[in-house]
Structure 1
Amino acid sequence: MTVESTAARKPRRSGAAGKRTGAAKKQQSPQASEPQLVQLLTPEGERVEHPEYDIELSAQELRGLYRDMVLTRRFDAEATALQRQGELGLWASLLGQEAAQIGSGRALRDDDYVFPTYREHGVAWCRGVDPTNLLGMFRGVNHGGWDPNTNNFQLYTIVIGSQTLHATGYAMGVAKDGADSAVIAYFGDGASSQGDVAEAFTFSAVYNAPVVFFCQNNQWAISEPTEKQTRVPLYRRAEGFGFPGVRVDGNDVLACLAVTRWALERARRGEGPTLIEAFTYRMGAHTTSDDPSRYRHDDERLAWEAKDPIQRLRAHLEAAGHADEAFFTALEEESDTLAKRVREAVRAMPDPDDMAIFENVYADGHALVDEERAQFAAYQASFAEEGN
């Protein structure tokens, strides 16, 4: 539903109150105009230009973006299947959001730092995190599965919106260190209603932090539509905090790449934060414990399937002669190999070390943690003694 249709609902009260409401609606009408959407690739795969955000990519780079999206989607599908087979406790699918994640992820430099939520599998792929490492937490055998500082990619964050504050604090530190790197924080439309996000916006603006807030507006915060999160397009919230906001076609990998690259360069130049709203759609369930058929209609999903990010880039590649059938066949074989490796790796994951919970709590150790470790070790040993 558009902002206009939300604002057009009739007021419940009548009389003078109704007149005041009508006057307020007239005052709000400029804000209810259709938001500008940055797009470089139409749903039909036609390349278009944009006066502010444009990008030139070689055929090889375009094929690389397509490969990233295809392999990410295949990994995601395999993870969903593994959860259905009882191999994972839960999984949050990114189906339909590949362009937003691959486009923004490929805009990053190696020295930039990423703060994800729990659905950024495509960004993790761009940062060089092995896909199998994403699955340990969802299988319940580790607390994350990778060293964040190896790839400048923080561990997945389950607490909604908290990572925006972490990203802001880190970006403030980057600025104080005099580095020219940037920070990016990912969150969803539902998380935009969290107080943590508002606080992150405030601090980042006041301290001119080199951070990009990348909101993937996939239309549904679990079962709540975006219209119940905001009265204006999400990207316009940035205006109230004093920094720019941009809405980009989240199913257009080229537009996501161009806009994110611009925002990151802006941050590196010391011009402060930017909010990017990637307007996309969650094609599947919120997580594997969700049933989207209970709160949204199939015709909505079908309409968005026509805007599929992978299909539109394939159409462009074929029309421009940038890829042949051999390329697509080889990529399909590569995706099959990836899926097989993921299946085997998950089923071979060892049970966690009982004492691992005490590791990495403090950088230099702590007397209380040492005491608790000893107590837990003695407790575990008591079971072995009873067995004898």
Structure 2
Amino acid sequence: MQAQEARAADPLPPAHARSLYRAMLTARLIDGEAIALQRQGVLPAYVSARGQEAAQAGSAAALDIERDFAFPTYREIAAALTLGVDMVGYLASHRALWHGGLYDPVASRFGAVNAVVGGPVPHAVGWAMGERLAGRTGCALSYFGDGASSEGDVHEAMNLAGVMRAPVVFLCQNNRWALSVPNERQVAGGSIAARAAGYGMPGVAVDGNDVAAVYRATRQALEHARSGGGPSLVEARTYRIEPHSTSDDTSRYRDPDEERQWRERDPVARLRAELGEAGHTDDTLARVEREARESAERVRDGICARPEPDGDDLFRYVYAEPTDELARQWRAWREEAAP
């Protein structure tokens, strides 16, 4: 079983393409606001998704939100927005107001923000196996990066999914850099999709900057899983334009020419150009862009206005029943925090 290189996807229906453009652009603008908020000290840290909007929005749009479930990392802002997650609640995790975010994962079908490298993958497999055992038809979509693909948890989860034929789609956003380590130094063989053969599942590599290609590949993988065919691996080949996080410095390990070349392949600008070629008027696109800016500004203002959490929350939700040691620390904290 060989990994496939997906051909260029046919254009999406006009209304669908325009909806994805709105989601991708809004995510891009919120991303920019979040970086600015981190520089202003509002967010303690932030991880940008700039350049990966097509991989995220295209894959999330393929889900059936009535029955499927997405398991994100800490970078899936465009996927969250596409699935209708409350973006102020989503960014609450980046402002350190609440671990995992202040939104309802069950209602949105989008799991809590997960900062463990490779962590969402075994979670997705477990959920998918539960769906199958319960006789339901839901599928899991698990996000992870090229760096996470080298984690043991990811290999174990994929192997289990292959053996159990779990209805899960593994979506790897290969953004070329595992923090400061390039693909060629951490992905043996050069292809993550090719690893699928070792787990008895189909694997496909797609242009991760082509939203239509990602959407159709994910949709096909979901149909394969829903029909009883088991898991699939989709490798969306894209690029992380910004640093790994706001504390990273790409000038220490990346070639500026490489960054420039990938900026010229920007997925948001690419989709806008395709919409124009398909006959969408400048007025229509200008309206979408104005609404995207207004949405981003509302999210920015909303996260700034969120109140600080109750300090007791540091202790309240650690155990179902607090231990003696936790109770002691809780009392000590209250004494120190008292005015």
2:61 match = 106
Any stretches of 5+ residues in structure 1 without a counterpart?
Answer: 1-30, 41-48, 50-55
**Equivalent residue for 1:263?**
221
SS in 1 for 2:204: strand
- Conserved? CA contact 1:38–1:247, under 8 Å: no
Distance 1:300 1:384, change over 3 A: closer
Are 2:36 and 1:36 aligned? no
| Contact preservation (8 Å) 2:30, 2:300 | no
Matches within 5 A, 1:156-175: 156-175=113-132
Give the alignment of 1:144-159 within 5 angstroms.
Answer: 144=100, 145-159=102-116
Q: Secondary structure at the match of 2:42?
A: coil
Give the equivalent residue in structure 2 for 1:62.
Answer: 17
Where does residue 262 of structure 2 map in the other structure? 304
State the 1:327 CA deviation. Answer: 1.6
Matches within 5 A, 1:138-287: 138-144=94-100, 145-232=102-189, 233-287=191-245
| 1:348 maps to which of 295, 300, 305 | 305
Asked if the contact 1:355–1:373 (Cα under 8 Å) also holds between the matched residues in 2, the reply is no
Partners of 1:360 and 1:105 lie apart in 2 by 30
Q: Which residue of 2 is the match for residue 81 of structure 1?
A: 36
What whole-Å deviation, never above 9, does each CA across 1:88-136 have from its counterpart, x for those lacking one?
A: 1111101110100010010001121111110000111122111111221
Counterpart secondary structure, 1:353: coil
Find the partner of 2:285 among 306, 328, 347: 328
Alpha-carbon distance, 1:358 to partner? 4.3
Q: Are the equivalent residues in 1 in contact too, given 2:93–2:113 (CA < 8 A)?
A: no
Change (3 A) 1:228 1:325: same
Q: Is the 8 A contact 1:164 1:196 kept in 2?
A: yes
Give the corresponding residue for 2:252: 294
Give the 3 Å change call, closer, same or farther, for CA 120–382 of structure 1 in structure 2. Answer: same
C-alpha contact (below 8 Å) 2:276/2:282 kept by paired residues: no
Q: Secondary structure at the match of 1:103?
A: helix
Which stretch of structure 1 is more off in the superposition, 100-109 or 333-342? 333-342
Instruction: State the shift of 1:203 in Å.
Output: 0.6
Preserved contact between residue 22 and residue 289 of structure 2 (Cα < 8 Å): no
Displacement, 1:138? Answer: 1.6
Q: Which moved more, 1:223-232 or 1:205-214?
A: 223-232
Cα separation, partners in 2 of 1:332 and 1:207, compared to 1, 3 Å: same
Question: 2:26–2:293: 8 Å Cα contact kept in structure 1?
Answer: no
The alignment partner of 1:138 has SS state of coil
| Match among 134, 142, 162 for residue 90 of structure 2 | 134
Q: What displacement does 1:290 show?
A: 0.7
Q: 1:384 to 1:247 in 2, by over 3 A?
A: closer
Deviations 1:143-180 (A, max 9, x none): 12223212121111111012111111111111100111
Inter-partner Cα distance in structure 2 for 1:209 and 1:240: 16
Aligned length: 335
What is the CA–CA distance in structure 2 between the aligned matches of 1:174 and 1:253, rounded to whole Å? 28
The residue aligned with 2:332 is: 379
SS in 2 for 1:184: strand
Name the Cα RMSD after superposition. 2.0
- What is the alpha-carbon distance in structure 1 between the residues aligned to residue 80 and residue 139 of structure 2? 17
Larger Cα-atom Rg: 1
TM-score scaled by structure 1?
0.82
Task: Give SS of 2:166's match.
Answer: coil
- The percent of aligned pairs where both chains have the same amino acid is 45
SS in 1 for 2:93: helix
1:360, 1:127 → 2: CA distance?
27
Per the normalisation by structure 2, the TM-score is: 0.93
